[in-house]
Structure 1
Amino acid sequence: MRWEQLFADLEAQVAEQEAALEQAEEPSRTRAEHGRVLLADRLRGAVGHELSLRCPGTPLAGRLVDVGVDWLLLADGQGRELLVATAQVTAVGGLTSATAPASGPGPGEVARRLDLRRALRGLSRDRAAVSCLLTDGGALTGTVDRVGADFVELAEHPLDQPRRRAAVTAVRAVPLTAVVAVRTALPAVG
């Protein structure tokens, strides 16, 4: 009987030590898991929520619609969309406690893998009138004419006029590193 008591005591001590080790490792595991979370995953957990962004030149805000590899899409209260270069975001407010799982194959994932250049090419194809917000705090208005490897070319014209030769006041090439965001024009009323 004494042996059984001794073995029971030893088993209890080992179980207690294992539980203590596991409890001590839990914060390390949690920190390691947090260390693998990308900003894009953190942002995807807030899709549908209102966010405020600090960016060079201007604060931005809106409901988060989607997140890509180097961009995020906001919708403002006026019906405009705002394509924001993630590299220009210095702080995000309004995040929820949710974090989306890391991206994997599935519906909608193709769009998320498209980079900022491809998203801008979509605006060029659609001939959408936009305001291009720049890191120096300035803004250019007009239509995206073309997107190169490291620049976007904008035909400047008033937002209330279509891109016609007579309306274009200048054509400017803007390095992608200088683009904070591209905002679509207000929807036409009528």
Structure 2
Amino acid sequence: MGWEDELFALFDDLEGEAGALYAAEREAEIADRSRAEYQQVTLASRLMASTGTEVTLTVDGIGQLSGTVERVAAAWLLMSSGEHDWVVNLAGVLAVQGASVRSIPEVAWSPLTRLGLGSALRRISESGERCLLHLRDGSRHEGTLRRIGADFCELAEGEERRVVLVAFSALAAAQSRA
């Protein structure tokens, strides 16, 4: 083997080492970028990708709820579970099992999904159906939603129609009673 062949072999070795170093650096950079991008993923975006899926939620003050995710918004989700529908305040969700491994970024959501918890409760109020409000401290109030404010709802409770105001921050979920 002549000196030229040895020189070309050395260049091939150096080029192979440089390629291996570049691939290792690129792999580390991709892993770093993936971790950095994943910090932008929200619970709501994971649940949005789980629409139509059976999940189990652990909700503050309630415990575990299992059902199918029907609709998701930034602050709440609608879940059907047997005979009941649940409007769940995402602020009260402690854990989720069975969610999709994917997420749907909020920029891809319909404008309707940007409606707040008050909008979901207004639909219950407009229907005139009785509902059961589960609070995050474990207490419950059953009655008919009357009016929905900016950060609270008004529930007419019992035979005497006593009015109870419930702050959204205290609400874990509203359960249909139909």
Shared fold, TM over 0.5: yes
Which of residues 47, 51, 54 in structure 2 aligns to 1:50?
Answer: 54
1:1-190 → structure 2 map (5 Å cutoff): 1-2=4-5, 4-59=8-63, 60-78=65-83, 80-97=84-101, 99-105=102-108, 109-157=110-158, 167-186=159-178
Task: Show structure 1 runs of 5+ residues with no match.
Answer: 158-166
CA gap of 1:105–1:50, structure 2 versus 1, over 3 A, is: closer
Post-superposition shift, 1:56?
2.2
Which one-letter code corresponds to 2:117 in the other structure?
Answer: L
- State the identity as a percent: 35
How far apart, in 2, do the equivalents of 1:54 and 1:105 lie? 27
In 2, distance between residues paired with 1:143 and 1:183?
11
Q: Which string of whole-angstrom CA distances, capped at 9 and with x for unpartnered residues, describes residues 162-183 of structure 1? A: xxxxx44311111111111001
As a proportion of its length, which structure holds more helix?
2
Alpha-carbon separation, structure 1, partners of 2:119 and 2:51: 21
Work out the CA distance in 1 between the residues paired with 2:120 and 2:166.
Answer: 16
Residue identity opposite 1:16 in structure 2: A
> How far apart are residue 6 of structure 1 and its match?
4.3
Computed over aligned residues only, the root mean square deviation of the Cα atoms, in angstroms, reads 1.9
Distance 1:31 1:90 in 2: 23
TM-score, reference length from structure 1: 0.82
After TM superposition, which residue ranges in structure 1, 4 or more long, deviate above 6 angstroms? none
The one-letter code of the counterpart of 2:142 is T
5+ residue gaps, structure 2: none
Deviation string, structure 1 residues 79-106 (Cα, Å, up to 9, x no partner): x210000001111122232x22202256
Distance 2:172 2:46 in 1: 20
SS in 1 for 2:28: helix
The alpha-carbon distance between structure 1 residues 129 and 88, as it changes in their structure 2 partners (threshold 3 A), is same
Deviation at 1:5, TM superposition (A): 4.0
Instruction: Compare the two structures and name the one with the higher strand fraction.
Output: 2
Number of aligned residue pairs: 173
Contact in 1 for aligned 2:41/2:103 (Cα 8 Å): no
Amino acid across the alignment from 2:75 = D
Letter of the structure 2 residue corresponding to residue 11 of structure 1: E
